[in-house]
Amino acid sequence: GQSLEQPSEVTAVEGAIVQINCTYQTSGFYGLSWYQQHDGGAPTFLSYNALDGLEETGRFSSFLSRSDSYGYLLLQELQMKDSASYFCAASGSARQLTFGSGTQLTVLP
């Protein structure tokens, strides 16, 4: 089985940088994904790390350390529209996603 832990809430101001951490315990780990979900909306894919290191996509970056069973999502130049829930999700040999409980990001003006 797999389990993931991430902080329940994070608050930051507009223009700042925020990091959302995720630790996982898995069997047959393939990679770590990140999804954004606004209230009542569909989860939206942000990034995927299969190998150790940093992946950058615009204002978002994601990092993975397989040896530490740890990853993070870095959001730069925060905007009000970034207020949402962010989920890390592990994929294993069974190829389905196991999601963490989510981090509610609130961006203040």
Interaction site with another protein (CB under 8 A): 30-31, 33, 35, 40-46, 48, 50, 87, 89, 91, 94-102
CB 12 → another protein: shortest distance, Å?
Answer: 21
Both tokens assigned to 9: 């809430």
Shortest distance, CB of residue 43 to another protein, whole angstroms? 5
Q: In this complex, which beta carbon is closest to another protein, that of residue 3 or of residue 17?
A: 3
**Least separation in angstroms between CB 96 and another protein:** 4
Nearer to another protein, 17 or 59 (CB): 59
CA–CA gap between residue 17 and residue 61 (Å, rounded): 11
* Three-state DSSP state, 89: strand
Closest CB to another protein among residues 18, 36? 36
Q: How far is the CB of 81 from another protein (least distance, A)?
A: 18
Residues 6 and 101 sit within 8 Å (Cβ to Cβ): yes
Is residue 49 classed exposed, middle or buried when 0-12, 13-18 and 19+ CB atoms within 10 A define those classes?
A: buried
The nearer residue to another protein, 70 or 99, going by C-beta atoms, is 99
